[in-house]
Structure 1
Amino acid sequence: MTVRIAQISGSTTTGYWNPVEHLAFLIKSSQSLKGLPDLQGSLSWCPVDDVAATLGELLVSDTKPYAIYHIENPSRQPWAEMTAILADALNIPRNQIIPFNDWVERVRNHNGPIAENPAKNLVGFFDEHFIRMSCGGLVLDTVQTREHSATLRKRGP
């Protein structure tokens, strides 16, 4: 059995999110640089405890396993909704929600400490892969996984 896992988010109980990954870096850099990228498309974050429960269900299932499973939150959310929430939480004025490429340039050109702008370490990823991987260009089919996982079935369609 092969399992492909999409974006893992924080726990449903604590909200804790891995602080050393691209989305945490995007948020920290946006906060420090007082600008947030205007992202189009959709996002799909699956809580870490749901990922763990789904993996457990797949491993102990009595049904004949499929060769490949995908774990992704099957309920996608528009980035526009999340961007507004993040802007408010980070005290970023709406006029500082800027085009993604402008945000990447702001990250690239900032000369302050890397702790204030950790996304600078991933500027190549943001240039080449972020939009496709994080804005709905890559959607994993979860039909088979939801068939064998009650946890993921509860998450969406």
Structure 2
Amino acid sequence: MIRHSSHVLREYHRYVREGNADVCYLRHPSGVTVVVLKKDHAVMKKKVKKIEWNTNPKKNKGIDRSKQSVIGKRKKGGLFLQPETRLCIIQCEDDTEYHIRAGIRGRLVEVNQRLSQEPELIQLAPENQGYLAILMSYTNEKY
């Protein structure tokens, strides 16, 4: 029986930024970057209660990333992200919160809306159904 490597291993290059130890980046040659939580992150050992896409709800100034919509080939309407921009807040059952940052410059294409209803996907399938976000990174930028 021949075993083939997964689609993620064949098509995407895996990157980790030194300044952002929370996430791993899966970059496709087309420039699409999938942001996933690292497998050794502290959240993987806890029960996740909720994933908050509005990163500043207390002051009502935050932008709810789950309500962003993009249009067209150039992804107009996507939020521009800087390395220090918060993508989401992961809340665990023991009331600990983890602020996940983008870590790279790019345009937010979509966030994983499925995590709002099924937050355990982050632990069960972190590189498939449990991804955090999809970004269009700048082509000349290296990780």
Bigger strand fraction: 2
Looking at CA atoms only, which structure, 1 or 2, has the larger radius of gyration? 1
What is the TM-score when the length of structure 1 is the normalising length?
0.25
Bigger helix fraction: 1
